[in-house]
């Protein structure tokens, strides 16, 4: 595959190319060059050229890429075409917002069920909320490979252990502490609270600086 060697910074840029290519109106040119893409996204041409060459072999000198083929190649590369079934644990405010977010389908992510210590039947979005006690069996029986963690910090490790026992290979963790997991399990952390704290700090510093003027 060779995909393992792809750096995280490339993976960061690819979704941006994709979003731009998809945002172009239907009547746009069928071709797009690395130069045009670089200009539109305010990026270095050499970098864009390298990135595209890594995911698609469709580039032709002076013409560039067929836009539709390039979109397909990037989506294929990023795995957006292979739908991944996932479970979500913790049906609080954040969990419910993620359950209701329709944009995940664009990335091939399908949340099939949510779990909570206080199951409620179903959410506004129609997804079932099942008791936590059924999590491990559900994952095993449905061959679920990804778990999304939106539980409070102190139960994150315990729930991660249940997921791993159920056969999960990847965990997307929101606002949880570092988890201890075996080497073949990947945990990706998302910390919106941290981002907000960083932004608040900056604003506080700015306001102070203004007051001292």
Site for a copy of itself, residues 93 to 152, rule: CB under 8 A:
93-94, 97-98, 100-104, 106-109, 145-146, 152
> Quick one: tokens of 213?
């003027």
Give yes or no for residue 190 binding a copy of itself (CB under 8 A).
yes
Residue 165 within binding range of a copy of itself, rule CB under 8 A = no
Task: Tell me the chain's radius of gyration from C-alpha atoms.
Answer: 21
Residue numbers 4-23 binding a copy of itself by CB under 8 A: 4, 6, 8, 11-16, 19-20, 23
From the number of C-beta atoms within 10 Å of its C-beta (0-12, 13-18, 19+), residue 115 rates as buried
Among 43, 54, 66, 181, binds a copy of itself (CB under 8 A): 43
The nearest distance, CB 192 to a copy of itself, in angstroms, is 7
Nearer to a copy of itself, 137 or 178 (CB): 178
At 134, list the tokens: 């059924």
Question: Binding of a copy of itself at residue 44 (CB under 8 A)?
Answer: no
199 binds a copy of itself (CB under 8 A): yes
**144-to-36, 95, 141, 162, 188 alpha-carbon distances in Å:** 40, 18, 8, 13, 17
């Amino acid at each position: 595959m060779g995909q393992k060697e792809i750096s995280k910074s490339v993976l960061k840029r690819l979704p941006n190319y994709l979003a731009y290519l998809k945002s172009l109106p239907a009547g746009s040119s069928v071709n797009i060059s690395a130069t045009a893409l670089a200009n539109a996204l305010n990026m270095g041409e050499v970098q864009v050229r390298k990135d595209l060459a890594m995911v698609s072999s469709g580039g032709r000198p002076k013409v560039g890429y067929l836009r539709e083929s390039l979109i397909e190649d990037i989506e294929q590369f990023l795995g957006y075409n292979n739908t991944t079934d996932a479970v979500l644990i913790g049906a609080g405010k954040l969990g419910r917002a993620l359950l209701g977010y329709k944009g995940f389908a664009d990335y091939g992510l399908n949340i099939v069920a949510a779990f909570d210590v206080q199951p409620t039947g179903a959410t506004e979005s129609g997804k079932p909320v099942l008791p936590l006690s059924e999590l491990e069996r559900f994952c095993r029986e449905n061959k679920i490979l990804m778990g999304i963690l939106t539980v409070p910090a102190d139960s994150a490790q315990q729930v991660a252990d249940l997921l791993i026992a159920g056969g999960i290979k990847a965990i997307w963790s929101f606002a949880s502490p570092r988890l201890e997991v075996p080497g073949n399990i990947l945990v990706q952390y998302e910390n919106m609270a941290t981002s907000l704290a960083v932004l608040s700090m900056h604003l506080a510093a700015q306001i102070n600086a203004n007051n001292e003027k």
